[in-house]
Amino acid sequence: MIDPLQASLKIAGAGLEAQSTRLRIISQNIANSQSTATVSGGDPYSRQTVSFDNALDSASGLGLVKVRSIGVDQSPFKLEHDPGNPAADSDGYVKLPNVDVLVELTDMREANRTYEANLQVAKQSADLLNQTVSLLKEA
C-alpha cells in the first residue's frame, strides 16, 4: 500500500488540477460573456459548466477527485434589440450569451478558496514528510 502521506500529496494534487480546470472554464465563460454569433440570428456562446467526481485511481487504489464532465448550460439566451448588429435576426434582436458575470465571479471565489485549501494540505503533507526525515538528522 502507498504511504498515506504520499497519498495525501497525490490526492491534493488531483484537487488542485480539478479546481484549475474549473478556473479555466470560468475564465472562458467571462471572456466570452459578450460573444455573439457571426451569422444573422445565430446562437451565441453557451455558458459551460464543470462537474466533479470522486473516482478510484486504479494505479494507486486511491479515491481521487477528477473532472467528470464539462457540460453546456441549457438556460435561454438573453435577447437585446440591436438592429445594427451583424448577428441581429430579421426582427432586429441579437442573442447574447447566457453568462452572468456575477455568478462566474462568485464561482471563481469558491474555486479559489478550494484551491487554497488543497494547497494547504499539500504543504502540510510535505512538511510532515520532511519532519519525519529530519528525525534522522538528530544526534
Partner 1 sequence: MTEVYLYQLASQRTQWLNVRQSLIAGNVANANTPGFQAKDIAPFSTVLAQTQMTMAATSPGHIAPSETELNPPRPADDDAANATLSGNSVDLESEMVKLGEISRDANTANAIKKIFHQMMISALK
Whose grid coordinates read 450569451? 97
Q: Is 8 in the site for partner 1 (CB under 8 A)?
A: yes
Size of the site for partner 1 (CB under 8 A): 38
Specify the residue, 43 or 53, whose C-beta has the smaller distance to partner 1: 53
Across the strands, what pairs with 64? 55
User: Grid coordinates standing for 38?
Assistant: 457571426
Q: Which residues contact 68 (CB under 8 A, 6 or more apart)?
A: 51, 52, 53, 55
Q: Which stretch, 34-42, 71-79, 91-99, 122-130, contacts partner 1 (CB under 8 A)?
A: 122-130
Pick the binder of partner 1 from 27, 31, 53, 78 (CB under 8 A): 53
How far is residue 74's CA from residue 69's CA, in Å, rounded to a whole number? 15
Q: Is 29 in the site for partner 1 (CB under 8 A)?
A: no
Q: Is 56 in the site for partner 1 (CB under 8 A)?
A: no
How far is residue 4's CA from residue 132's CA, in Å, rounded to a whole number? 13
Pick the binder of partner 1 from 69, 89, 125, 126 (CB under 8 A): 125
Pick the binder of partner 1 from 30, 108, 117, 126 (CB under 8 A): 117
